[in-house]
Structure 1
Amino acid sequence: MNILFIEDDAIETMKLHRTVSKLQLRVNIVEAKNGEEALEYLKSGGESPDIILLDLNMPRMSGIEFLKILKEDDKMKYLPTIVLTTSENRADLLECYKIGIAGYVIKPLKYEDYESKLKKVLDYWNINELVKA
């Protein structure tokens, strides 16, 4: 499974890699530090990700701004995008679902809880037929 991970925090990026390694998941992770970098990657003609894991609070372009651009594009709008954020703001959650996300996961403080949530998300998308299409 190919994942586009959009996150500006180096610690969160290391946490994702640590979790994937510990769980021995067979995934390829492409990193982008913000929405602009992610859009450049998506438009570059490289291999499309099976899923996008997106933080909301980033410099230059917020996750919500990225989502709006992504979902307006005829080709990219079908990419399953899961928000992975610390934001428990209900307005953010509702806005993201209104735009068209596939899921909204709040990053827990404890690493064990993060690992558990991430495993469930990746297990689900690994068997989902949309990823295989």
Structure 2
Amino acid sequence: MDNKTQRYYLVREDILPEAVLKTIQAKELLARGEVHTIHEAVEKVELSRSAFYKYKDGIFPLTKLSTERIVTVSMDLEHRSGMLSNVLSMIASMEGNVLTIHQTIPLQGMANVVISVDTSRMGDQITAMIDTLRRSDGVRRASVIGEG
């Protein structure tokens, strides 16, 4: 099935097959760091590796799907010591988690910075974050260029 024909369903946990439930348990063990390999995870939940690989890319907790939100912000920053650090601190103070940073070499006293931020813990504060960035000393421009 290609991406264009995939369909998704919201299904109650109690009607899922045992192998699917154990796949979720194994993925959670790995995510929490309680085990370090897939072999350890499937052994602990008593699941075959083939079943794990069959279901691992198709089952996710609803909370994970509904809370992940990545925003990509483009900014022009004045070329001054500590500018990027100030921006990163401000994002962190608003519960944003910086995932990637790309900064150009400063030309004519300005550098373009593109930052991807996980905003899932920010709630409705994304607009406030952009407004705060725009008002920050040394930030000449800040705009959202992508959301996912």
Same fold? TM cut 0.5: no
TM-score class, shorter: under 0.3
Normalised TM-score (structure 2): 0.22
Flag the structure with larger Rg. 2
